[in-house]
Amino acid sequence: MKRIAIGLYAAATVALLVWGYYQAIFVAPDEATMHEVQRIFYYHVPSAMSAFLFFAVSLVGSIGFLASRRNYPEHAQRFDAWALAGAEVGVVFCSVVLVTGPIWGRRAWGIWWTWDARLTTTLILWLIYVSYLLLRRFAAGPQVQTLAAVLGIFGAIDVPIVYMANRWWRTQHPAPVFFGGPDSGIKDPRMLAAFGWNVLAWIAWGVLILGIRYYVERQSQKALAREALEALNQV
Amino acid sequence: MTRALWTHLVKDLRIEWRSREAVNSMLFFALLVVVLFSLSFDPQGAFSRDIAGGVLCVATMFASVSALNQAWAREIRHQVLDAQRMAPTPGADMFLAKVLANFLFVTVVQVVLAPVFVVMYNLRILGDAWKLALVLPFGTWALVANGTFFAALSIRSRNRELLLPLILFPIFMPALLAMVLATGSILTGDSDPSLWIKLLFGYDIIFTTVSLLLFEIVLHAE
């Protein structure tokens, strides 16, 4: 039953991705000033939203791990798997943002990159979570989960500071499309639909990968625990 | 100030006084970075004022990493760290003592380096020079507090010397930005650095608090 549900969910996700692609490339109207290159927006912004969502999952996992590691070791292992899976999927989405952004910027601004508030913040966010993954790779033994959780919390605290610092420094990124003031928001309903479908599709896709990654991590945790138990029994 | 903190601080200072490892290596390393930067950028006139703040901060940052690694590596020998984990004193005391000691070392390096720096870059400070006395300690504290914390975090990993800069630099970036911009605006006198000094101060408060709260977890991680 569970397998069928997962299979159905995966199929629905792929269907959503195809539908989102169709909406973004064929249905949504041409944008007046930026033309075709504006369509990258339907991938750039949903990826950014997904990245933030999955980094938030990672943060919750880190805090949960630290809170439960003494009294509920089994829960703590689950939290740790969520933290790792969230960080990995978040880094992938963040990479997509960092790749699609310059492609758009080259056409719209005439430059690939600028040290603007949101670009710099996203880049540093990416660096922080890559360093988190490096720590998980480098540090060996059972303490790695605790250390990674601590670094995850540090990284999350750093993000708003980075953002404020860069906002005071300089800002070139277009003003927020949503909640950015009276003139913000997408006016054309077809654009809004294409955007909405892509947000849904990419978040669904991310959740699927997150689930798979979580499952794989849980399996490797269980395998480690089994090995440790066998080693104990042999003594 | 508690007695445990004082004991740790005196111990760290005494070790450093006898060996002078940290200060000497940092000083030479920072000097090398300053020379390398002047060779590669040929700083003259207004340009030297523009980049000098950044070079000083980055030189301090690179130099302090070597000392911060040593700060905990020293405790690993003869299982000293394990003994300290069993000691009935709060880990925060040990952490704060290490931060204070390293803060002193880095400050000594900066004080010695500053005149060399002024000479090599032909600097004439156009802004309020006294504000440097705020910016440099705040920036150094941000670097050293985080650095000591992450050095403790990476101490039990494989290739720890490599890991420390990899996890410290991304977190330290906003403080570095504030420090560089504040020193830059003091040197050139173009703009008011007070916003960046406030940011540095806030960064110090936030990260010192978080480090003190989480240090016990890192110390006893197993």
Give the pLDDT confidence of B96-155 residue by residue, as tens digits: 999 999 999 999 998 888 888 888 887 777 777 788 888 899 999 999 999 999 998 888
Confidence of residue A223 (pLDDT cuts 50, 70, 90): very high
Note the pLDDT of residue B98.
92
Note the pLDDT of residue A79.
94
Write the DSSP symbol of residue A20: H
Question: Mind telling me how many Å the CA of B168 is from chain A's nearest CA?
Answer: 9
Judging contacts by C-beta atoms under 8 Å, the chain A residues touching residue B165 are none
Of the given ranges (A42-51, A205-214, B98-107, B158-167), which has the lowest mean pLDDT? B158-167
Please report, as a single letter, which amino acid is at residue B182: A
Please give the average per-residue pLDDT across B173-196, as a whole number.
85
How far apart are alpha carbons A72 and A65 in whole angstroms?
A: 9
Distant-in-sequence, close-in-space partners of A93: CB < 8 Å, separation ≥ 6: A47, A48, A50, A51, A54, A202, A206
Note the pLDDT of residue B212.
92
Give the pLDDT confidence of A121-156 residue by residue, as tens digits: 889 889 999 999 998 888 777 788 888 999 999 988
- What domains, with CATH codes, occur in chain A? 2-234 (1.20.120)
Note the pLDDT of residue A187.
63
Within an 8 Å CB–CB cutoff, is residue A91 touching chain B?
A: no
Note the pLDDT of residue A57.
93
How far apart are alpha carbons B182 and B197 in whole angstroms?
A: 7
Nearest to B157 among A128, A132, A138 (CB): A138
Give the pLDDT confidence of A157-205 residue by residue, as tens digits: 888 887 777 777 765 556 555 554 545 556 677 888 888 888 899 999 9
Note the pLDDT of residue A84.
93
Judging contacts by C-beta atoms under 8 Å, the chain B residues touching residue A66 are 217
Which of B181, B206, B186, B176 is closest to B196 using CA atoms?
B181
CB contact under 8 A, A139 and B166: no
CB contact under 8 A, A169 and B181: yes
B29: alpha, beta or left, given left = phi > 0 and alpha = psi -120 to 50? Answer: alpha
Note the pLDDT of residue A171.
55
Question: Mind telling me how many Å the CA of B128 is from chain A's nearest CA?
Answer: 21
Q: What is the mean pLDDT of chain B?
A: 86
Residues A115-151 as b or e (16 or more Cβ within 10 Å = b): ebbbbbbbbbbbbbbbbbebbbebbeeebbbbbbbbb
